Structures are given as C-alpha cells and as structure tokens.
Amino acid sequence: MSTTLYLVRHGQTEENAANILQGHLPGHLNEEGREQAARLRDRLKDIQFDALYSSDLKRCRDTARILNGPHGLPPVFTPLLRERDWGPFTGMDILKARTLIDNRAETVDALFRRARTILEEIGSRHDGGQVLVVSHGLFCRVLQAACLGKTLREIPRMDNAEVRRVVLTLPLPLPAGTEETGATAN
C-alpha cells in the first residue's frame, strides 16, 4: 500500500520578507503568512487527514495550528522536518550567503537521510492513509525527491503556504543522488 502526503511549506515569515536565511531560527509568520495559511486551510478543510506532522520550528507550528482548525488532529512536532541547518550562515541575507555556503552547513546528503527517516516513520504508521505534513521550502523539496527517487534539482521550488500531493510508497526508491544547493529556500 501507500500513503498520500500533502506537503505544505509554512506561510510567509517576517524573515522571508527580509530575505533572511532562517534555517533553524524559529521564524515569525507575518500577516500575509497567516492569511496564506488561512486560505490554504479553507482549501484543505474537506480532506480527511489521518495525521498531522510538522517541523517543531515556530513558523511551521503556527502554520500547522491554522491548517489544523477544521481537523482537530493531535499534531506531531518533530525536528526531523526542520529546514536545513545553515550553520554560521543562519541569519544572513540570502543573496550574500549564497556565495559563501560551505561544509559548515548541513549537507544535502544529511538532509536526505533525515527525509528518509521521517518518510519511513510516516509510511509505516499511516499505510493507506492521508497525512498533512508542514515543513520548509527546501526540506519539502528533499521529501519529494526522496519519495520519487529524484535529485533535489528536479523538484521545483515551493512558494509560501503551497501544498503538493505526493504518494509515498515503501520501500523508498533508491536515491537518484544528491547535489549541493545554494541558499534559496527557508
């Protein structure tokens, strides 16, 4: 069997609007981000979800709480769904950081290992179900790539409060390979 995932990137944050590389910073939804999450909540309200998983970072927790209004699910907040740890580049202007990212940031291989761990957990616990997953732009792309056996570059960027439906089938396909990426999502 398989599990249907609805992967959601958190709503816009004050830091997104200021082009700040957030990584493991909490992030604060701005008014637009709260409105984006509310609009998405209304689009998803009639879907019967079996579970809700979310990054434990504030911007995702807040987005998940808004989306969960019609569902009332007990949320599972986990650091496995966090954005990439940018290390010393966290908090920098994205455009400046893009040219500096080096091996002090979490590697793309490490992101894929984290993604495989949480996908295997969700797939084994919710086989045949529909699961709402709230995470971050880059990490949602990694989750998609891991599900589909693709590279990160083959997965398009996600907008704030965008949802993508992906079918997770275990065992996961063999990795298509990973490659380094610049600071383009948070």
Nearest-angstrom CA–CA distance, 54 and 41:
15
Q: How far apart are CA 52 and CA 130, in angstroms?
A: 9
Q: For residues 172 and 186, what is the distance between their CA atoms, to the nearest angstrom?
A: 25
The catalytic residues are 10, 83
Say if strands 2-9 and 163-169 run parallel, antiparallel, or are unpaired. antiparallel
